[in-house]
Structure 1
Amino acid sequence: MKVVFKPLLSFSVILLSVLLFTAAAEAKGNPQTSVSSSGEEFEVNHNGPSKTQQISPAFEGTGRTKGQLTENSQVSLKSLKPSSIIGTDERIRISPTTSFPYSATVQLTVKYSGSSSTFGCTGFFVNPNTIVTAGHCVYDQDNGWASTITAAPGRNGSSYPYGSYSGTMFYSVKGWTESGDTNYDYGAIKVNGSPGNNTGWYGYRTTNSSSPAGLSSSVTGYPCDKVSGSMWSDSKPIRSAETYKLTYTTDTFGCQSGSPVYHNYSDTGQTAIAIHTNGGSSYNQGTRVTNNVFDNIKYWSNQ
């Protein structure tokens, strides 16, 4: 009787291929795994896309300022990512900046140990000491984690009505830090003190129960094409809703990365539904607050 080993060999090759693929996938890890500048990794318990809508409401804060502190030094900031003016520039300057939600909008000054440049970004408070921003504002593909980040909430030119704060810990996810995948371009900064109690903070929520396309939204931040430290905003409907991104024709410019893309909901107030990341010739876009993004923001807020 002739024994044929070919099928067995084929099965072994297939099995080996499956095992190698699985091992490679496990080594790469979940792109939504939380990572920090201290080296911590944490797998947040995500319950998948079928989870009901998640909501974290806004808080308007006490409004207490620090006596309109001023600073004379003006640092020339560079942009980490491009953002675009779509057609006519319709941004308006926000002044004064001490009313909510502008008080909870933060100018970020970012430095990397591997670069001699100083970069500008924007962020927004989501609790007393946590600022959400773009992933590329805390982790750069060439230079790694930021060495220092200074946060100035509600800055208005040379005026720092709430003072400035140092970042003490930076967070993002593996999809950004290991792969540079723009679908996972989001992160957070923990700061010293609890300035959010005075400035207030934005809400954030998922929009998986209904498409946000057409929803009126605003993008507010600190562009580097305007007077140093000045806050600008534009409002337009959401253009399209993709799995990981929202797109919009709202005017933005470099250094507005990390700005909140937000809507004023009747139940949660000024609430972020995306984090602005970059732009193009036809539209700008931000990382959508999905269930995974929501869960990570919540986890970072609780640290």
Structure 2
Amino acid sequence: MPSVLQEEITPQVIIGADNRIRVFDTTTYPYSSVVQLIMHWENNFIRTVCSGKLIDANSVATSAHCFIPSPTESVTRGNLQWVEIIPARNGSSAPFGIAYAITIYALQEYIDNSSSAYDFAVVNVNLDFSDAGSMLVSDLTGAELLVNNFTISGYPVDKALDLGNYYQWYHSGPITEILDWTFRYQIDTYGGQSGSAVYYNNFGVFTIGGIHSAGSQEGQYNVAHRITQASRNYIRLAASMNN
């Protein structure tokens, strides 16, 4: 059956030169814990794509807007039917298998106002991906955000050969501006990477400080939900529901 690939919200942006790097061996950690999510919708065989990160053996952190469309998008797409989760996807290869969403958790605040401040979600899945690894979710201080280099790795649609061949790409850089519930950066991303973890290597412990959400309309920066104590607790509680 034919499918239509649609971007999620305001397209994420390439800032200046495109500095993204392809991950050729996605089975090595931490890239093995990066997942692609494929949302199947009711109308017209529409599929949309996002990225995410395993936070335990059977739970994924990603963006709420991957599952909660705008009113206009709802008319086009209809209801969400099912979600595929593919860790470490490399073209048409799924080295750890393909899982399906059991439960999706997102805040009512995001449903009400679609703000990047609340744009995060947890997906509990039906398979155990222990072999793929996972990452720690942490509410980092402003100092920790500013002094470290962060990476975003995911599955951008502009690098896909076709609907069946998505590849993992990453780019790293500093956080440039910190707000209470979001932060900004000039790390290159594109549609399909919504929900990617914004993470860094904390002396061997790969740690998520934010969830990539959107890009500025002017193309000057990209933005993430900043993991706060409240969102960290929510994410951990939602993940524990599947253990």
- State the TM-score, normalized to the length of structure 1: 0.72
Indicate whether 1:79 and 2:40 are aligned.
Answer: no
**Aligned equivalents of 1:76, 1:141: Cα separation in 2:** 17
Q: CA deviation at 1:146?
A: 3.0
- Report what 1:20 is aligned to: none
Matching of residues 251-290 of structure 1 within 5 Å = 251-266=188-203, 269-280=205-216, 281-290=219-228
Larger radius of gyration, structure 1 or 2?
A: 1
2:175 to 238, 244, 257: 238
Indicate whether 1:215 and 2:143 are aligned.
Answer: no
**Aligned equivalents of 1:118, 1:74: Cα separation in 2:** 10
1:79 maps to amino acid:
E
Q: CA deviation at 1:188?
A: 1.1
Matching of residues 1-303 of structure 1 within 5 Å = 77-81=5-9, 82-113=11-42, 116-142=45-71, 143=74, 146-195=80-129, 197-208=130-141, 210=143, 212-227=145-160, 228-266=165-203, 269-280=205-216, 281-303=219-241
Q: Please, what is the CA RMSD of the aligned residues?
A: 1.9
1:291 maps to amino acid:
Q
User: Number of residues paired by the alignment?
Assistant: 229
1:292 maps to amino acid:
A
- Give the percent of matched residue pairs that are identical in Structure 1 and Structure 2: 29
2:82 maps to amino acid:
T
Q: CA deviation at 1:182?
A: 2.5
2:5 maps to amino acid:
L
Contact 2:2 2:45 in 1 (8 A): no
Q: CA deviation at 1:164?
A: 0.6
Q: CA deviation at 1:236?
A: 0.6
Q: CA deviation at 1:141?
A: 2.8
Where 2:158 maps in the other structure, the secondary structure is coil
Q: CA deviation at 1:77?
A: 3.0
Q: Which runs of 4+ in 1 moved over 4 A?
A: 73-76
Structure 2 runs not aligned, ≥5 long? none
Contact 2:3 2:46 in 1 (8 A): no
Contact 1:106 1:122 in 2 (8 A): yes
Contact 1:111 1:117 in 2 (8 A): yes
1:207 maps to amino acid:
L
Q: CA deviation at 1:203?
A: 1.1
**Aligned equivalents of 2:8, 2:142: Cα separation in 1:** 33
Structure 1 runs not aligned, ≥5 long? 1-72
1:294 maps to amino acid:
R
**Aligned equivalents of 1:188, 1:147: Cα separation in 2:** 17
* 1:6-29 C-alpha deviation (Å, 9 max, x unpaired): xxxxxxxxxxxxxxxxxxxxxxxx
**Aligned equivalents of 1:249, 1:106: Cα separation in 2:** 22
Contact 1:279 1:285 in 2 (8 A): yes
Q: 1:121 to 1:236 in 2, by over 3 A?
A: same
**Aligned equivalents of 2:19, 2:187: Cα separation in 1:** 8
Q: 1:191 to 1:212 in 2, by over 3 A?
A: same
**Aligned equivalents of 2:117, 2:142: Cα separation in 1:** 20
**Aligned equivalents of 2:31, 2:4: Cα separation in 1:** 22
**Aligned equivalents of 2:113, 2:79: Cα separation in 1:** 14
